[in-house]
Structure 1
């Protein structure tokens, strides 16, 4: 068990926890409202963690001030999109390390004993489970946990479903609706007579619910993440689809065959920094390859596999279109059709984003695949 230690009138310690994989702080000092942003930033850059014991709202202001200082080193567009992407990821990792040095202590039952602090116990209970004594976390992580509970309570409205989906902490939220719309409008195989469908990497369960709403007799949704499986089950219950959708895992494919297999893998073939990145990064395209390699043996005659994939990796120079088509061909599959759409999220319009040109040209596609 990782433990941080510090002096506060006497030696103290607490369990260290980081969902984003931040390393155990080796040196910890106590900080409060008297510490300036300049000093906090310098100590954090040197690798010293700051255990905050002052006012909670002042801690948030300090974090914003530190972030402004980190932002001065943000990279602009480089020579190629791939170089820009690598520099941008490196900067984001540096930013996470520096800002992650500002810590707070969650005491027993996830109590945050700071002045003007909100009651974080419900949010921490949902994210971390039962309390196991004092635990130190980065303030950035705690703010993410609080935000995640707000998203979970409010939900994300999905027009294609005509309902809200409620993401849990650590589960990728369906805020980019264009990929859901593709699954909503693609023609169903077998003339619409889909008896069984698989949704691989279900996340919140949004696509599994959509397939059920489109008339699939039985939908089996899988995910490698226990959090995602719990989230999907929660949403299935909320939507009243418990008799149609079954959540399984952690394997990619469930047992049996299906008339339709849908997979929306992470779009970027790069190594995730932590489990929180698994919705975005697919190391070496492993999930994509697993879907393609297993599809032929899991389809019923006349069935189809729907691959929902952005071409962002191609535009970043991380995977070519030929590599994708060769992988499809090598798996013994053929392309029946392809439906395309443009993203509508806010980052497409963010001209300050060093990857703006790539994001503005991005196309998301639904590839209809069948056995060759």
Structure 2
């Protein structure tokens, strides 16, 4: 693994940015209009003041985008991102410079030589949430131990697709010498394969935080000898064919500029063609490709094209060996996703072999 990997982290706000101060007594309406006009505000006095402002921004935008369509929700998220990222908080000596603020260990860990700077409040919220998850760890139904995701690394908050993969692994009767895990994230799929007897997993990711975080999590344990990591696109530096390739890509195609900020959820147009082209040379003769996907894009009318089905019908490289589906569990009352979509959503497990 490359020891010179540069971590992704929020970029401090430039010193040339001009801002007004926002306190408990600042007029909400005028502040939101100021944000809409491209101005910045710095939260002062209490951390809660910033949270209250974000809450008011959400309420304002919910009235503006009152529909429930998937597209309108996208527009809401895009504008909320723009406005909320103009709300700032100052950091002094790696601490938030407001009262009753959370203590966030990432501030010192990710910015060791920069004790004083300014970040956007959404970036602060992301760092805080990630710190809590990293400290507490996450229990997954398919693993014996908790995972402790690093900052900026996607981790599953729903588990239907993991259960589907675990059930497939239980019935897998092929060789278990080596496998690829493309887009390793916090390492769940790799750890599932190790749990089910794979001797070696070669895991890659284009997110440097995933590689650094997983290496730190594994340390010098037995797991670190079972899972080898490389920072890079698709198969990265590895060329040798293996008997299993596992791929859990994003489930929605990029449709707007805002989507590009979340590479764990949205995939670029070239992802699947590039993957299948490279997989052809990385799959052993009798090997299998397992792709974990969802029908979310189809039921949300995001696209009528299924990238895996298209490869099977037009690619000329692979044939379908097996397709499994599983309905997702009922949405929580707290979920932000459309409930009517959740009711018809299914996770998919596709098994492909060479033509």
The TM-score bracket by the shorter chain reads 0.7 to 0.9
- Of 242-251 and 362-371, the range deviating more from structure 2: 242-251
Q: Is the 8 A contact 1:272 1:281 kept in 2?
A: no
1:342 aligns with 2:327: yes
Partner residue of 2:289?
A: 305
Partner residue of 2:279?
A: 295
Q: Is the 8 A contact 1:19 1:274 kept in 2?
A: no
Deviation per CA, 1:263-285: give whole Å up to 9, x if none. 0001111156377511101122x
Partner residue of 1:85?
A: 70
Partner residue of 1:41?
A: 32
Distance 1:277 1:21, change over 3 A: farther
Deviation at 1:169, TM superposition (A): 1.6
- Of residues 236, 249, 255 in structure 1, which corresponds to 2:239? 255
**TM-score under structure 1 length normalisation:** 0.83
Secondary structure of the 2:292 match is strand
1:101 aligns with 2:83: no
Deviation at 1:184, TM superposition (A): 0.8
1:316 aligns with 2:300: yes
Aligned residues: 344
Distance 1:204 1:40, change over 3 A: same
Secondary structure of the 2:258 match is coil
- Of residues 271, 280, 284 in structure 1, which corresponds to 2:265? 280
Distance 1:352 1:59, change over 3 A: closer
1:369 aligns with 2:352: yes
1:326 aligns with 2:310: yes
2: CA distance, partners of 1:21 / 1:266: 28
Deviation at 1:230, TM superposition (A): 1.4
Secondary structure of the 1:158 match is coil
- Of residues 241, 251, 257 in structure 2, which corresponds to 1:267? 251
Secondary structure of the 1:338 match is strand
Alignment of 1:134-213 (within 5 A): 134-187=116-169, 191-213=173-195
Secondary structure of the 1:185 match is helix
2: CA distance, partners of 1:239 / 1:181: 25
Distance 1:190 1:158, change over 3 A: closer
RMSD between superposed Cα atoms in Å:
2.9
Distance 1:305 1:139, change over 3 A: same
Partner residue of 1:10?
A: none
1: CA distance, partners of 2:88 / 2:144: 41
What residue ranges of structure 2 are gaps of 5+ in the alignment? 1-7
1:356 aligns with 2:347: no
Q: Is the 8 A contact 1:190 1:302 kept in 2?
A: no
- Of residues 216, 219, 223 in structure 2, which corresponds to 1:241? 223
1:119 aligns with 2:129: no
1: CA distance, partners of 2:301 / 2:101: 45
What residue ranges of structure 1 are gaps of 5+ in the alignment? 1-16, 78-83
Structure 1 segments, 4+ long, off by >4 Å, are 20-27, 187-190, 349-353
Q: Is the 8 A contact 1:272 1:278 kept in 2?
A: no
Distance 1:198 1:22, change over 3 A: farther
